[in-house]
Structures are given as structure tokens and as C-alpha cells.
């Protein structure tokens, strides 16, 4: 076992053989060996091992990380984990429409719509989507909150200058105050509670999202003015990826679900909540597609879609979720792996996938920035 020691310069060191200590070995091999270096080597001796002299080798500072290296940090022991509602999150609907794009009432109870001031006439106030992640917070895209007040318009997006004012939860059909549907077989009618509209208390975009040189870090949190009223069916949080195995899960080739009303910065394309399954593309394929526009990160972004007639995130909302199913506390739940960030304006364009902010990479930032 290597023992700790103190060098002649009063710094911390480790008592090892001189051949294993590069700094002192370099002094020993220097020609000519100066009296000062010889005296330093003599004072560095700290013992013997099998008659071999040991020296107090100064501890080397770890090599600095190369710039811009992205590392996923395990959050399985984060102090704020109890603020997430793993007891309620990501419920599966028993009558989920497999392969369809029209959702049933209450199928995706974590969906949120962000309303903005500045809409004229009969224009919809909803211009971004998001997801419920706990009692007070909505997860969305950075461009949905950061540039709406500042007047700065990021590249590759066309963000109008509005101010976010409230979030709507428990919505299904934008044209109906109370959403109902009938079972064609049994003749029964199911109705959801009236949607919840809750004012926004604070919106925080990731501090490193600029939207200028690239569109990385396109993620934000919205805190509401009051606690969300969770219901058995219509309003529940989505699960988030916790633990490195889920945060870094290889999703290439898998079909993940993106959902929304088609709300983008420019228009609303559907009055009813839609969903579509999109295949995740490899980083190499996505980077090649966008090489002349922006650099795509292998760690902090996901690419999915780009299949003609196979659906695309244009059917979802800016800031909306990309989800996949996995185990959470012993049961299979919906886990959000992506946030809709940017992509081609022509939906379903072959070979042009949409780009999503990877939630697993940002879990530490999310947990660091939520509070009770």
C-alpha cells in the first residue's frame, strides 16, 4: 500500500520507488546533476522497499478535461430526487392506440401547453408545449422561454416576440371546454375534468443556451404559481431518466413517441392531441445531415424521424416530449428522453430527422434547479 508523505517543498506526495515518479526521475537523469537537485532528491527519501529506496513523489494534478467535453452525471443519489413524483409518473393507458396517431382522452396526462400574450383575433395563444415533471414544474425547450422577452431571435428557428403567461394542463381537444368520448361498443361516455390553467411564476432557460452559434442546451424549466392538482387520469407527471443506464440508454433504431397539437412558433396545425412514433437515428447520420448548419452533439442531443409517411416531430410541439417506455420502481412507465428542439420545416422529409434535447444529459441541471 502506498503511503502519503510530504515533499521537501511541503506539498502532498506518495512514497514510491523513484523509477515510478516521473518528476524525480527526470531530476536524477539530468546531466549534469546539480548540487541543488541532489540535495532535493536526498531530502525526498521516505523509506525502503526490498532494499530499494523510496521517494516522496509529488502528487500530479489530474490532466484538465479537453474543452467542450460533455459528460453525463449520475443523479441516482441527487438530493432533489424526492421532488420527482415516481409514485405517480408515466402511467400507461390500458387502451392505448397502438400504431395510431390520434390519442384517447387521458392517454398522455403529462402534456402541457404554454400560452403567450400577443395573439390577435382568434389566433391560438398556445405556441409551445411541455411536460409536467412534478407538483410545480414544467419541462420545455429553452427557445420557448428565453427569447420571447428578450427580442433575440435564434438561428434555425423563427421565434415571435411574445411573453409566456400561463400553462394549460389536462387538455385534449382545443375546441372543447370539456373533453368527452364515447365507447362505440358499449355505448358509454367518458369525460375528462376541465383543463387547469395555471399562471407562470418563473421561467428558467439553461444558462448556456444561446441559439446563435448552435442550438445546444435548448432546455428550460417553468415554475407555476400554485401546486398542480394531480388527478387519477387527466393530469399526471411524466417519468424522467434516473441512473446512468437510463440517462445514457442507446436508443438508436428504437421508435420513440413524440406528441402534441402540432403547436410551433408559427402555427397550430391540430385541435386534438396527436402522437407519432419516430425512429431514433445514429449520431453519425444526423451530424451528416446538419453539417452545413449546426454541429450536433452525440451526448446532449437526439435525432429522430426523417422517414416519409413515418411521422415526424412537426406533429409535435416545440418543447414537447419524446418518450419511450421502461421500468420505474417495478413497473413499466413512460420516460421522457427528449425535448423537441428544431428540425426541417417540411414534416416527414425523407432523410431529415428532427433534433431533440437529450433529457438524460441534463438531469443534474434539472434537479439542481427545482425546489419544493
Catalytic residues: 143, 218, 318
Phi/psi of residue 144, each to 5°? -80, -15
Closest CA to 239 of 366, 353, 115, 127: 366
Closest CA to 223 of 133, 94, 313: 133
Cβ pair 160, 127 in contact under 8 A = yes
Q: Please state, in angstroms and rounded to a whole number, the distance separating the CA atoms of residues 311 and 359.
A: 21
Distance of CA 67 to the CA centre of its chain: 21
* Dihedral sign from CA coordinates of 74, 79, 84, 88: positive
Task: Count the neighbouring beta carbons within 10 Å of the beta carbon of residue 249.
Answer: 17
DSSP state of 102: B
DSSP 238-267: PB---SHHHHT---TT-EEEEEES---SS-
Strand-pairing partners, residue 303, are 281, 355
Q: Please state, in angstroms and rounded to a whole number, the distance separating the CA atoms of residues 275 and 260.
A: 6
> Which residue stretches of 103-247 are H helix?
146-150, 244-247
Q: Is 62 exposed, middle or buried (0-12, 13-18, 19+ CB in 10 A)?
A: exposed
Phi/psi of residue 258, each to 5°? -110, 140
Q: Please state, in angstroms and rounded to a whole number, the distance separating the CA atoms of residues 359 and 247.
A: 8
Closest CA to 136 of 224, 19, 31: 224
Residue in the structure block whose three cell numbers are 439553461: 206
Cβ pair 255, 279 in contact under 8 A = yes
Count CA atoms closer than 13 A to 106's CA, side-chain side. 18
Amino acid at each position: 500500500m502506498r503511503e502519503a508523505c510530504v515533499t521537501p517543498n511541503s506539498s502532498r506526495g506518495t512514497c514510491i520507488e523513484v523509477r515510478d515518479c516521473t518528476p524525480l526521475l527526470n531530476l536524477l537523469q539530468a546531466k549534469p546533476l546539480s548540487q541543488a537537485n541532489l540535495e532535493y532528491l536526498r531530502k525526498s527519501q521516505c523509506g525502503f522497499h526490498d532494499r530499494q529506496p523510496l521517494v516522496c513523489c509529488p502528487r500530479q494534478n489530474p490532466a484538465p478535461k479537453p474543452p467542450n467535453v460533455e459528460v453525463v452525471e449520475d443523479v441516482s443519489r441527487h438530493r432533489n430526487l424526492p421532488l420527482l413524483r415516481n409514485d405517480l409518473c408515466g402511467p400507461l393507458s390500458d387502451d392505448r392506440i397502438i400504431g395510431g396517431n390520434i390519442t384517447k382522452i387521458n392517454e398522455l396526462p403529462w402534456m402541457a401547453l404554454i400560452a403567450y400574450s400577443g395573439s390577435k383575433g382568434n389566433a391560438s395563444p398556445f405556441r409551445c408545449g411541455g411536460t409536467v415533471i412534478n407538483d410545480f414544474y414544467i419541462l420545455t425547450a429553452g427557445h420557448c422561454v428565453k427569447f420571447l422577452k428578450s427580442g433575440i431571435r435564434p438561428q434555425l428557428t423563427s421565434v415571435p416576440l411574445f411573453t409566456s403567461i400561463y400553462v394549460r394542463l389536462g387538455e385534449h381537444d382545443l375546441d372543447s371546454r370539456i373533453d368527452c368520448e364515447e365507447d362505440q361498443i358499449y355505448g358509454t361516455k367518458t369525460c375528462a375534468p376541465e383543463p387547469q390553467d395555471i399562471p407562470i411564476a418563473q421561467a428558467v432557460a439553461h444558462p448556456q443556451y444561446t441559439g446563435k452559434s448552435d442550438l445546444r442546451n435548448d432546455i428550460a424549466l417553468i415554475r407555476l404559481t400554485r401546486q398542480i392538482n394531480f388527478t387519477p387520469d387527466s393530469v399526471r407527471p411524466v417519468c424522467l431518466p434516473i441512473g446512468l443506464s437510463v440517462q445514457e440508454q442507446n436508443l438508436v433504431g428504437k421508435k420513440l413517441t413524440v406528441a402534441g397539437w402540432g403547436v410551433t412558433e408559427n402555427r397550430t396545425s391540430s385541435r386534438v392531441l396527436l402522437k407519432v412514433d419516430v425512429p431514433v437515428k445514429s449520431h453519425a447520420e444526423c451530424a451528416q445531415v446538419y453539417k452545413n448548419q449546426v454541429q450536433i452533439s452525440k451526448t446532449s442531443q437526439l435525432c429522430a424521424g426523417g422517414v416519409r409517411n413515418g411521422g415526424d416531430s412537426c406533429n409535435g410541439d416545440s418543447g414537447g416530449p419524446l418518450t419511450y417506455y421502461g421500468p420505474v420502481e417495478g413497473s413499466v412507465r413512460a420516460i421522457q428522453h427528449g425535448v423537441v428542439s428544431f428540425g426541417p420545416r417540411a414534416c416527414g422529409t425523407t432523410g431529415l430527422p428532427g433534433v431533440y434535447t437529450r433529457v438524460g444529459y441534463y438531469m443534474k441541471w434539472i434537479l439542481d434547479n427545482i425546489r419544493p
